[in-house]
């Protein structure tokens, strides 16, 4: 805000956030947490967010004060009802297409654990609807900017690029580059994309359409969910085949850490915690370890190192390493609890361990938000042996609740955890244990190092308190998002406290930059284009709740 501009004259920046999930309505992982908690964090910085997600049954059921906002007769061949309602994060739009979204369970996977065969059109319809709203479809609201999340929203910037007329700029958030939204070239027409878009410098990725590549090519700004991950994905080793694109767009790429909602993660008020305790009250949390051991049939041994893992049970998360390592751990005075769901083979290994080592190992092989909270309030240390980790939220939860993270030195884990090396322990600043590379042996050595520190009660308690005092909130990170969005749009800056978790990639963030000139210019649509594409026409009509 300038000195001569009164606060009342500063209009809020209007933001449309596009995603496949949002907590607490629908969540499979950290993406839903971020999409659900970021809008409230942006509000104090002068940014008003409206979020659009698919109209899954869980979303439509939970949407408060729902009203029909508009009907669109032809979005890629489907009739769409757009519902508007309220959540804790503000205004939410739900794209209601029963043929695409009226399915119970996981939003991405069928009951046999395989991706839904029509996931391409499911998320193309979400993207196309969002693009229409961004371009001014609604009579009473138009965003100044769009924030798209992961591959599911990757076509939004492409659709906006191929439209005629002015459209708002887009910042795309890469939560996990490993998931790219790849579909056959033959679906170009189904997705309403012009034939000339299927080139190397647009949507083509090794003979397929890539939603993620579309986002990387056409977004005005790119955000990765940690500074280190922003560096990693520009390398051939971690770039998942898109490192060339990311290096070419390095001036547009910024790493900003995620944050957590401190209202959701407060051990004093968390209903999942048996014995509430204040953040940093290490003595008071001890009772939770005993009751957790009793709840799951483990011996109530205070001197046993109780380890926990809350995660998708996949190779990315290193769950396979832990399953193989576990018998070696049980030769020590170590107990282990695992909560999560994932690959069938890994889950079967954990089920076998549960039957063989009932005095040392327990597992809950289903997703459970409640147990995820309770575990962090009880275990001595939380395991995060990821092979790659864009940001990670588990370490934030562990730190906040006084559990020491034992994590691979990758991505956001290395940006948030201070390793308990001799210097950090001596200075009293350590809050976790990092190891590298991500192998079974290195994980074992890290756990043994943790066991040695656990026996040093004063050192361990200091590490727990350090973690609890670590700022895991959105406060500084939201300010960084706000500055990026304000710079991207030219919207008047709302003054905020500077943060320290932002890392521009080989660019000067202080210089105001115009909207990026992209490799592909907007091309006027012809009558022939309209005849062969579902981008147009559409027939909107306003409506009221039936």
The tokens for 256 are: 């900003």
pLDDT at residue 139 in the model: 93
Q: Which of 184, 223, 230 is nearest to 207 (CA)?
A: 184
pLDDT at residue 115 in the model: 93
The tokens for 284 are: 């008071």
Strand boundaries in 150-240, DSSP class E: 170-174, 182-184, 204-205, 208-210, 221-224
Exposure string of 496-523, with b = 16+ CB inside 10 Å and e = fewer, is: beebebbbbbeeebeeeeeebebebeee
Distance CA(480)–CA(487), nearest Å, equals: 11
- Per the CB < 8 A criterion, the answer to whether 384 and 312 are in contact is no
Distance CA(503)–CA(226), nearest Å, equals: 8
Helices (H), 277-402: 286-295, 319-329, 344-356, 369-378, 394-401
Output the known binding site. Answer: 27
User: H or E element: which one contains 464?
Assistant: helix 457-469
pLDDT at residue 9 in the model: 52
- Per the CB < 8 A criterion, the answer to whether 388 and 237 are in contact is no
Distance from the Cα of residue 499 to its chain's centroid: 20
Q: Does domain 286-469 have CATH number 3.40.50.1980?
A: no
Environment class of residue 178 by beta-carbon count within 10 Å: exposed (0-12), middle (13-18) or buried (19+)?
middle
pLDDT at residue 539 in the model: 32
CATH for the stretch 14-259+475-523? 3.40.50.2000
- Per the CB < 8 A criterion, the answer to whether 500 and 255 are in contact is no
pLDDT at residue 10 in the model: 64
- Per the CB < 8 A criterion, the answer to whether 36 and 166 are in contact is no
Task: Report whether the peptide linkage leading into residue 280 is cis, meaning its omega lies within 30 degrees of zero.
Answer: no
**For tokens 């900017």, what's the residue?**
145
Number of H helices, E strands in the chain: 19, 20
Output the known binding site for ADP-alpha-D-glucose. Answer: 27
pLDDT at residue 40 in the model: 95
Strand boundaries in 458-504, DSSP class E: 502-504
pLDDT at residue 540 in the model: 32
Domain residue extents for the chain: 14-259+475-523, 286-469
pLDDT at residue 472 in the model: 96
Distance CA(312)–CA(306), nearest Å, equals: 20
pLDDT at residue 541 in the model: 30
Distance CA(230)–CA(367), nearest Å, equals: 29
Compute mean pLDDT per 10 residues along the chain, 546 residues long, and list them.
Answer: 49 96 93 96 96 97 92 97 89 98 90 92 99 96 98 98 94 98 97 95 96 98 98 97 98 97 96 96 95 97 98 97 98 97 96 98 95 98 98 97 98 97 96 98 98 97 96 96 96 51 33 32 31 31 31
pLDDT at residue 64 in the model: 81
pLDDT at residue 389 in the model: 96
**For tokens 């085949």, what's the residue?**
241
Q: Which of 482, 471, 498, 487 is nearest to 43 (CA)?
A: 482
Say if 14-259+475-523 and 286-469 have the same CATH topology. Answer: yes
Query: First CA to last CA across the chain, in angstroms?
Result: 43
pLDDT at residue 87 in the model: 84
Task: Report whether the peptide linkage leading into residue 94 is cis, meaning its omega lies within 30 degrees of zero.
Answer: no
């Amino acid at each position: 805000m300038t000195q001569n501009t009164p606060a009342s004259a500063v209009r809020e920046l209007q933001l449309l956030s596009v995603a496949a999930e949002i907590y607490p309505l629908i969540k499979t992982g950290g993406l839903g947490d971020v999409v659900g908690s970021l809008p409230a964090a942006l509000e104090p910085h002068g940014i008003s967010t409206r979020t659009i997600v698919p109209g899954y049954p869980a979303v439509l059921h939970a949407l408060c004060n729902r009203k029909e906002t508009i009907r669109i007769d032809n979005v890629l061949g489907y009739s769409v009802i757009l519902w508007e309602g309220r959540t804790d994060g503000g205004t939410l739009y739900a794209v209601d297409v029963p043929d695409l979204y009226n399915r119970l369970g996981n939003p991405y996977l069928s009951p046999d654990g395989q991706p839904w065969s029509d996931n391409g059109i499911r998320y193309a319809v979400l993207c196309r609807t969002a693009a229409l709203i961004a371009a001014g479809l609604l009579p009473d609201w138009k965003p100044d900017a769009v924030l798209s999340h992961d591959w599911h929203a990757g076509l939004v910037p492409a659709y906006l690029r191929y439209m005629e007329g002015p459209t708002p700029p887009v910042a795309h958030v890469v939560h996990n580059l490993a998931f790219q939204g790849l579909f056959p070239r033959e679906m170009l027409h189904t997705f309403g994309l012009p034939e000339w878009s299927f080139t190397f410098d647009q949507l083509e990725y090794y003979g397929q359409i890539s939603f993620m590549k579309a986002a990387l090519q056409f977004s005005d700004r790119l955000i990765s969910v940690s500074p280190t991950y922003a560096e990693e994905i520009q390398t051939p080793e971690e770039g998942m085949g898109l490192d060339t694109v990311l290096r070419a767009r390095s001036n547009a790429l910024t790493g900003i850490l995620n944050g957590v909602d401190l209202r959701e993660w407060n051990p004093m008020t968390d209903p999942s915690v048996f014995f509430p305790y204040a953040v940093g009250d290490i003595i008071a949390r001890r009772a939770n370890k005993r009751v957790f051991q009793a709840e799951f049939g483990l011996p109530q041994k205070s001197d046993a190192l109780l380890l926990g893992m809350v995660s998708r049970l996949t190779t990315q998360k290193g769950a396979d390493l832990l399953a193989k390592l576990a018998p070696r751990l049980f030769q020590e005075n170590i107990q282990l609890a695992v909560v999560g769901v994932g690959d069938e083979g890994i889950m079967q290994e954990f089920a076998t361990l549960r039957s063989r080592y009932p005095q040392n190992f327990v597992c809950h092989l289903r997703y459970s938000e409640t147990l995820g909270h309770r575990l962090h309030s009880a275990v001595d240390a939380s395991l995060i042996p990821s092979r790659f980790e864009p940001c990670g939220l588990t370490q934030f939860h562990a730190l906040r609740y006084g559990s020491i993270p034992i994590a691979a030195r990758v991505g956001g884990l290395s940006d948030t955890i201070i390793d308990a090396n001799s210097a950090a322990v001596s200075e009293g600043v350590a809050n976790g244990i990092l190891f590298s590379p991500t192998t079974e042996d290195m994980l074992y050595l890290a756990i043994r190092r943790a066991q040695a520190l656990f026996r040093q009660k004063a050192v361990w308690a200091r590490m727990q308190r350090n973690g609890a005092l670590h700022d895991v909130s959105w406060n500084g990170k939201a300010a960084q998002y706000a500055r990026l969005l304000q710079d991207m749009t030219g919207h008047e800056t709302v003054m905020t406290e500077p943060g320290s978790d932002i890392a521009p990639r080989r660019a000067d963030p202080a210089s105001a930059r115009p909207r990026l000139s992209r490799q592909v210019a907007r091309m006027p649509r012809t009558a022939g284009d309209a005849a062969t594409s579902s981008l147009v026409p559409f027939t909107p009509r306003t409506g009221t709740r039936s």
